[in-house]
């Protein structure tokens, strides 16, 4: 595996820990590469879920809960934001990033599923 030199913050949301894909692989990759950080949001907790290990926050992704510089790298104008998921989620995350001052040209989205609301291609790179 290539050495990751740039800072990466992988922010993941799932309905529950049982519905989350690749948790062990993502966590191991972050442990092996100090420049990779992870944050997990869970919509619903399972009885064995442990704060700080299985999840960081309960509920929908809320970028306001994350530190502007240490988590979102808002102070670095070269930071790019990649959003993948259902269309309404992507629209909400794009709008959150725009409200935090991120240029639309630095926001990349990838649609899950079939169809959904149109995202203005002048506002976000598809």
Residue 73 and residue 7 in contact, taking contact as beta carbons nearer than 8 Å:
yes
Enumerate domains of the chain plus CATH numbers: 1-61 (3.40.50.80), 77-117 (no CATH)
Kindly report, residue by residue over 10-21, the tens digit of the pLDDT. Answer: 999 999 999 998
Q: What is the rounded distance in angstroms from the CA atom of residue 109 to the CA atom of residue 121?
A: 10
Q: Which residues contact 47 (CB under 8 A, 6 or more apart)?
A: none
Residue 10 and residue 33 in contact, taking contact as beta carbons nearer than 8 Å:
no
- Take residue 56 and report the two structure tokens written for it: 């960081």
Nearest to 108 by CA among 87, 90, 125: 125
This prediction's pTM: 0.83
Residue 42 and residue 12 in contact, taking contact as beta carbons nearer than 8 Å:
no
Kindly report, residue by residue over 41-79, the tens digit of the pLDDT. Answer: 999 999 999 999 999 999 999 999 999 999 999 999 999
């Amino acid at each position: 595996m290539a050495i990751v030199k740039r800072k990466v913050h992988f922010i993941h949301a799932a309905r529950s820990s049982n519905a989350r894909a690749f948790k062990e692989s993502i966590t191991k990759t972050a442990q092996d590469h100090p420049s990779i950080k992870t944050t997990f949001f869970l919509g619903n907790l399972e009885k064995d879920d442990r704060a700080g290990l299985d999840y960081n926050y309960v509920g929908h992704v809320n970028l306001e809960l994350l530190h502007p510089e240490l988590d979102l790298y808002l102070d670095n104008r070269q930071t790019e934001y990649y959003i993948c998921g259902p269309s309404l989620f992507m629209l909400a995350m794009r709008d959150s990033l725009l409200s935090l001052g991120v240029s639309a040209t630095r926001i990349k989205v990838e649609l899950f599923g079939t169809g959904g609301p149109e995202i203005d291609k002048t506002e976000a790179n598809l």
